[in-house]
Structure 1
Amino acid sequence: MDTLLDATATARLLPPIALADEIEALLHDPAVQVPERLVQPLPGGGSLFVMPALDAHIAITKLITFTPANAGTPRPAIQGDVVVFDSATGERRLVLDGPTVTARRTAAVSLLAARRLAPRPEGPLLIVGAGAQGLSHLEAFQAGLPVREVLVASRRRESAQALVDHARSLGLKAEVVPDPDEALPRCSLVVTCTPASGAVLRARPSRGTFIAAVGSFTPRMVELDAQLCRDVAADGTVVVDTPDAAHEAGDLLQAGLDVASFPSLRDVVHGRVRARGPVLFKSCGWAGWDLAAARAAMKGIGVNSAARRAFEASGFEARR
């Protein structure tokens, strides 16, 4: 028997702090295996992503489509599922909502990086991009860091205002800012989470700044100005989420940097990185992060246990 979860039920199983802790635990687990993901171009400019991963107990595949043309329409840019199997029996145990997993685990990865690398984790926090990733990063940073003030910049003021309103509902001081470069000197935490169709941040960050750039994940996509990336590489610290960023991190590749020379988040959690100056954390995504989300969800739902029965009795909305 398995459980098919909608976006609301999936989100309930992936609280930011617990998920960040699970991601850190995964980076210490020698049983984890993550084959290279398959990215298949689709007619119309979209892509199909097939992302498997496994550990000693479960195997997962994230199967999603990414359709940039859906931006600004009622259809989400990311659609699909994360399917979780029991490694020993081969039985399907969970089907999680793919876009929710993507948003939650990406923000939790950024949270883990900020916990370890941010010189001034209290903020203020500048979020550039007010979509699903902007929302998930707001909630993750508010939950896991001592942030009290948030500034939001977006191409659409309505989206920025909606995210500001949500921040205020969480008890934060928040405002919309028209120019992220002008706001940058005020902020020690920055997240860029845009469609990555052009540079949205150009100003040189101060030495106490931590930037998590999560919007671009192909060589052609970019959010950060090339000179900004080169300046941080020369005078600060650049960390990538995984070595796969060597052929995916468009911001760094377009800046002409040797991405393979930068340490990864695994190096950080194993104590092999000492940050200096401004910090740029470049996140491109990895099926290992989805595996961590599946592990957290399995623990949260208590599969084959009283916890699962209690969860099912709580009235979650399952997809049928």
Structure 2
Amino acid sequence: MQTLLLDSDAVATNAAMTDVIPAVEEAFAADDRGDVQMPAKSYIELDRYNGDFRSMPAYLDVAGSATDEEWDAAAVKWVNVHPDNPEDHDLPTVMGTMIYSDPETAFPLSIMDGTELTLQRTGAAAAVATDHLAIEGATSLGIVGAGVQSYSQLEAIAAVRPIETVVVSDLDDARVAAFLEAYGDQFDVREGSVADAAGCDVLSTVTPVRDPIVPYEALGEHTHVNAIGADAEGKQEHEAATLLDAKVVIDDYEQCTHSGEINVPWANGEIDEDDLYGELGAIVTGRVEGRTAEDGITLFDSTGLAIQDVAAAHVVYERARDEGEGTEFDLLGLD
């Protein structure tokens, strides 16, 4: 029996957004139904190297409401964040490895690149939230932070809304230029300030900042915000005033209060449970309403869940296996 090795190119090729988005949506629904096991993300802080490791295990049992398929899957992602890597070691800041296993036997079906997988599932999660919380006719998307995640944000959100105009803001001119070149033929893409991006119908913020950079007053009257960047304690992209005014939807209570967009104002006592509308899974299953006609600003606090990784890995593995892609390897020496 062989383990399928899938590098970043293989993951990208087999992680079609049209498949990953519904799979991630099913994962949110399964979470709301209680059909997942997902221990809290654990951290190993490496102050000596200005970095950390994070382990994210999960098991997911999908009833198949969106695809009429029933499947279950288990996996663990081992991921890091080392901000000094690009300059000091010519390595990415974030790298991940995904071990995807057969729940029945525990056999490691696949070892795949978790970095590309993370990009795809994070974009898909934002798309699920946008589909349930943004205005139906949203045609403009603002992106603050033109790193690699900005690409999957645009591709995923454009799959659920008729995006025409894209405003991108970043302090790095080279990143902005690369983004404009990548999408100039597909969208009306332009560089703008943070305030320009914030005024769009949908706004995705994907920065590592620890002090808010998006002014509350710059947001449009009905802007939906995907707050992606805050993924560790002390990070914050948006002002507390935004969180107090917006309909705030979170992906997971424990993770968001510890390390999501809400973690700093939560710890400071500026917001509490009364300021949280609910979890995205409850909206997906219909237990809680999504966007209503009365809503103004909505905000999705996305910390990234292990069940999203498992759902995306399921899509990638099944498609790669069917297409005969990847490299088979006798990891356990059974053949």
User: Which TM-score applies when normalising by structure 1?
Assistant: 0.88
Residue of structure 2 in register with 1:240 after alignment: 250
Q: Residue deviations 1:125-171, cap 9 Å, x none?
A: 111001111111122122332111111100101101111111114x1
Q: Secondary structure at the match of 2:106?
A: coil
Residue of structure 2 in register with 1:266 after alignment: 281
Q: Is the 8 A contact 1:246 1:259 kept in 2?
A: no
Residue of structure 2 in register with 1:54 after alignment: 59
* Comparing 153-162 and 19-28, the one that deviates more: 19-28
Q: Secondary structure at the match of 1:4?
A: strand
Alignment of 1:173 with 2:188, yes or no, is yes
Q: Choose from 134, 156, 165 the match for 1:149.
A: 165
Alignment of 1:70 with 2:85, yes or no, is yes
Could you tell me which amino acid in structure 2 is paired with residue 191 of structure 1?
S
Q: How far apart, CA to CA, are the structure 1 residues paired with 2:251 and 2:156? A: 17
Residue of structure 2 in register with 1:213 after alignment: 227
Aligned length, in residue pairs:
304
Alignment of 1:35 with 2:36, yes or no, is no
Q: Secondary structure at the match of 2:213?
A: strand
Q: Secondary structure at the match of 2:211?
A: strand
Could you tell me which amino acid in structure 2 is paired with residue 209 of structure 1?
T
Q: Is the 8 A contact 1:58 1:86 kept in 2?
A: yes
Q: Is the 8 A contact 2:42 2:56 kept in 1?
A: yes
Q: Residue deviations 1:178-209, cap 9 Å, x none?
A: x2114433x11100001223322114223321
Q: How far apart, CA to CA, are the structure 2 residues paired with 1:259 and 1:12? A: 41
Gaps of 5+ in 2: 62-71
* Comparing 43-52 and 268-277, the one that deviates more: 268-277
Gaps of 5+ in 1: none
Q: How far apart, CA to CA, are the structure 1 residues paired with 2:168 and 2:87? A: 18
Pairs within 5 Å for 1:266-285: 266-271=281-286, 272-275=288-291, 276-285=295-304
Structure 1 residues 219 and 247: alpha-carbon distance in aligned structure 2, compared to 1, 3 A threshold: same
Q: How far apart, CA to CA, are the structure 2 residues paired with 1:273 and 1:72? A: 46
Q: How far apart, CA to CA, are the structure 2 residues paired with 1:95 and 1:224? A: 36
Structure 1 residues 250 and 28: alpha-carbon distance in aligned structure 2, compared to 1, 3 A threshold: closer
C-alpha displacement of 1:317: 7.7
Residue of structure 2 in register with 1:80 after alignment: 96
Q: How far apart, CA to CA, are the structure 2 residues paired with 1:198 and 1:99? A: 26
Q: Is the 8 A contact 2:168 2:197 kept in 1?
A: no
C-alpha displacement of 1:31: 3.4
Q: Secondary structure at the match of 2:158?
A: helix
Could you tell me which amino acid in structure 2 is paired with residue 246 of structure 1?
T
Q: How far apart, CA to CA, are the structure 1 residues paired with 2:229 and 2:153? A: 12
Alignment of 1:198 with 2:211, yes or no, is yes
Residue of structure 2 in register with 1:294 after alignment: 313
Q: What is the percent sequence identity of the aligned residues?
A: 25
User: Which TM-score applies when normalising by structure 2?
Assistant: 0.84
Q: Is the 8 A contact 1:206 1:278 kept in 2?
A: yes
Task: Provide the aligned C-alpha RMSD in A.
Answer: 2.2
Q: How far apart, CA to CA, are the structure 1 residues paired with 2:153 and 2:123? A: 5
Residue of structure 2 in register with 1:135 after alignment: 151
C-alpha displacement of 1:121: 4.7
* Comparing 82-91 and 137-146, the one that deviates more: 137-146
Could you tell me which amino acid in structure 1 is paired with residue 169 of structure 2?
A
Q: Is the 8 A contact 2:216 2:238 kept in 1?
A: no
Could you tell me which amino acid in structure 2 is paired with residue 13 of structure 1?
N
Residue of structure 2 in register with 1:231 after alignment: 245
Structure number with higher relative contact order (C-alpha < 8 Å, ≥ 6 residues apart): 2
Structure 1 residues 198 and 317: alpha-carbon distance in aligned structure 2, compared to 1, 3 A threshold: farther
Residue of structure 2 in register with 1:25 after alignment: 26
C-alpha displacement of 1:176: 1.0
Q: Secondary structure at the match of 1:22?
A: helix
Q: How far apart, CA to CA, are the structure 1 residues paired with 2:226 and 2:150? A: 11
Structure 1 residues 248 and 196: alpha-carbon distance in aligned structure 2, compared to 1, 3 A threshold: same
Q: Secondary structure at the match of 1:223?
A: coil
Could you tell me which amino acid in structure 1 is paired with residue 25 of structure 2?
E
* Comparing 199-208 and 213-222, the one that deviates more: 199-208
Q: Residue deviations 1:71-95, cap 9 Å, x none?
A: 5663211112010011111211111
Structure 1 residues 31 and 241: alpha-carbon distance in aligned structure 2, compared to 1, 3 A threshold: closer
C-alpha displacement of 1:37: 1.7
